């Protein structure tokens, strides 16, 4: 909804109790990325023509090699599924980790996708999450 600003007001960073702002927080960005990842993977699995799906999504079929050299070609798409069954973190005053196994209902599943590029000299796997964070169609503001 458009709103007027006082004369001389420049920009949008101001504090008015009756003016609501919506800002993306880091946790919200991670949640959005998780949803995009899940939807992308679901769409890829369901696509009858996988190459067309990748082209429409803007996944490059060739990329430059990280250190120069021949371009790298997309040859595989991998799906990996992991289940988080617990957590471990440093313990205070000890070299042992504090380990907390999860009860069954807290075990979570995560699926991710990787794009495998190769050349005669190198192999590189690009993680779907990295791709979505840097790709303009991901919904992330790159400006």
Sorted by where each begins, the domain ranges of the chain are 26-138
As a whole-number percent, the residues of the chain with pLDDT over 90 amount to: 52
- At residue 93, does pLDDT exceed 80? yes
Query: In a 10 Å sphere around its CB, with 0-12 CB exposed, 13-18 middle and 19+ buried, how is residue 117 labelled?
Result: buried
SS3 111: strand
Mean pLDDT over 90-110 rounds to 92
Confirm if 61 and 126 have CB atoms less than 8 A apart: no
How does residue 86 score in pLDDT terms, banded at 50, 70 and 90?
very high
As a whole-number percent, the residues of the chain with pLDDT over 70 amount to: 75
Rg (CA), the chain: 22
Could you tell me which of 72, 77, 73, 65 has the C-alpha nearest to residue 113? Answer: 77
pTM listed for this prediction: 0.65
More confident site: 27 or 16: 27
Q: For 43, phi and psi rounded to 5 degrees?
A: -65, -40
How does residue 140 score in pLDDT terms, banded at 50, 70 and 90?
very low
- Residue 103 Cα distances to 14, 58, 85, angstroms: 46, 40, 8
pLDDT at res. 33: 84
pLDDT at res. 83: 93
- At residue 44, does pLDDT exceed 80? yes
Calculate the average pLDDT of the chain.
81
């Amino acid at each position: 909804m458009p709103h007027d600003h006082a004369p001389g007001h420049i920009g949008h960073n101001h504090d008015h109790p009756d003016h609501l702002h919506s800002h993306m927080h880091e946790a919200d960005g991670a949640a959005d990325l998780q949803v995009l990842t899940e939807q992308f993977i679901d769409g890829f699995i369901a696509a009858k023509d996988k190459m067309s799906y990748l082209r429409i999504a803007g996944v490059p079929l060739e990329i430059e090699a990280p250190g120069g050299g021949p371009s790298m070609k997309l040859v595989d798409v991998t799906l990996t599924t992991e289940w988080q069954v617990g957590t471990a973190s440093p313990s205070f005053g000890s070299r042992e980790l504090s380990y907390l196994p999860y009860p069954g209902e807290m075990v979570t599943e995560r699926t991710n996708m990787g794009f495998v590029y190769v050349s005669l000299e190198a192999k590189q796997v690009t993680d779907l999450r990295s791709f979505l964070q840097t790709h303009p169609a991901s919904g992330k503001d790159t400006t």
